[in-house]
Structure 1
Amino acid sequence: MPALVDTLMEPGSEHCSPGGQYSFRVLGPCCRLFDRDELPWPCCRLAWRSKEPSWRRIGRRFVADLASRRCPSYAVELLQPGARPTCTVLTLFPQRLSPALQEWWYSKQPGSMDAANVSPPDLAQVAP
């Protein structure tokens, strides 16, 4: 069973990777988005068989990536010995977000898009 996470990693904190090959400095939490415009264009009706991707994509361009929706993702700076620090997005798949933290991280509620919503509410008050 994956570890349940109910707090954010502090920006600026340094951690070792789950496999121990490198370390990283946390820049901040982020959500991993899927760009629907990067879907392949249909090339042949026979190849797609049933539902063919639409030429006119309907809906939002960026949607939450379903593979990483339950796991915390952070913008990080990889600290590799003997190399320049590299900025990337790291998803910690061995960990799972608590329901309250997942609601803040990938919420569909209109209030979550408020510019002041930069950190989760006090989870101690939200949790039963």
Structure 2
Amino acid sequence: MKRKLLAFVFLIIGLQYAALASEAATQPNISELEQKVSILQSKVRSLEYAQNKTETAVSKLQKAINKNGLAILLFAFFCAWWAKTTGRSALGWFLLGLLFHVFTGIALLIKTERNTLQNKAADH
């Protein structure tokens, strides 16, 4: 009975040692870990750089919107007023003025000029 107990204890100790040895063999060494850390550090630096570039671009866009937003809104109101005085849809031209700014004004000017020329030709 003592021999069986002693053999059982040695068996358990041997299995634990084998498990520890196999675990140590699969763990990476220090140089591999240092390489992985340096790769991760370079990735973090590149992500931080990209984030800073994006934040800079977004802040420039916000400044431009703050600076030009009122002018665009006033231009859209002007397009709506002009469209209404020439018998067109004020809401439609207001929305077009918000979206396409100067192009809407040019289109409205061309349409008004064409109508004026047609009216003059019809009068003669």
TM-score bracket for the superposition, by shorter chain length: under 0.3
Instruction: Give the TM-score of the pair, scaled to structure 1.
Output: 0.17
Tell me which protein shows more strand as a share of its residues: 1
Query: Bigger radius of gyration, 1 or 2?
Result: 2
Higher relative contact order (CA 8 A, sep 6+): 1
Tell me which protein shows more helix as a share of its residues: 2
